[in-house]
Amino acid sequence: MAEAATLIMVVDDDFDALEIIRHILEARGYRTRCFLDPMEALQQMAAEKPRLVVTDLMMKALDTGFSFSRQIKFDPRYREIPIILITAALSMRGLDLQPRTPKDLERMGIDAFFDKPVVAGELVAKVEELLHRRGKEPER
């Protein structure tokens, strides 16, 4: 077992959704730092040093999650941090935002995409895959 558990930053302006994701991740041994405001999360990136970010798409504006993700990916200090985007836009609004290729994910500034409600096992499997892909074993 590692000295410190892997830290995952979770960002969603819906407190209940935030708590669900937090619970899923912490039940698997990950530490979480949760934010209701993406700007506050960005301000805390350097101090928190998350190994992965999970963010909602629709927060203050329809594309807040994309904007937040791009700001992380365009910052040389953070561009290697994997980002998982979660949204209810597909089911609630009938929008087709589903990335179909790795290039779509890259253009979106994300590494994975899930529709809400998230299936816990699928989310955890993707978290572990992304951490392994970056050459970083998940520490628990």
The pLDDT value given to residue 107: 66
> 7-133 — its CATH code?
3.40.50.2300
The pLDDT value given to residue 104: 59
Task: Give the H/E segment covering residue 83.
Answer: strand 83-87
The pLDDT value given to residue 29: 95
**Residue 79 CA, distance from chain mean position:** 13
Q: Are 84 and 52 in contact (CB under 8 A)?
A: yes
Q: Are 58 and 64 in contact (CB under 8 A)?
A: yes
Distance in angstroms (rounded) separating the CA atoms of residues 58 and 39: 14
The pLDDT value given to residue 100: 58
Distance in angstroms (rounded) separating the CA atoms of residues 14 and 89: 14
Q: Which residue has the tokens 């816990």?
A: 120
pTM above 0.85, yes or no: no
The pLDDT value given to residue 46: 92
How does pLDDT run along the chain (140 residues), one tens digit per residue?
Answer: 223 589 999 999 999 999 999 999 999 999 999 999 999 999 999 999 999 999 998 777 656 788 898 899 899 999 999 999 998 765 545 455 565 556 655 666 688 888 888 999 999 999 999 999 876 444 44
Q: Are 56 and 90 in contact (CB under 8 A)?
A: no
The pLDDT value given to residue 43: 94
Distance in angstroms (rounded) separating the CA atoms of residues 118 and 73: 23
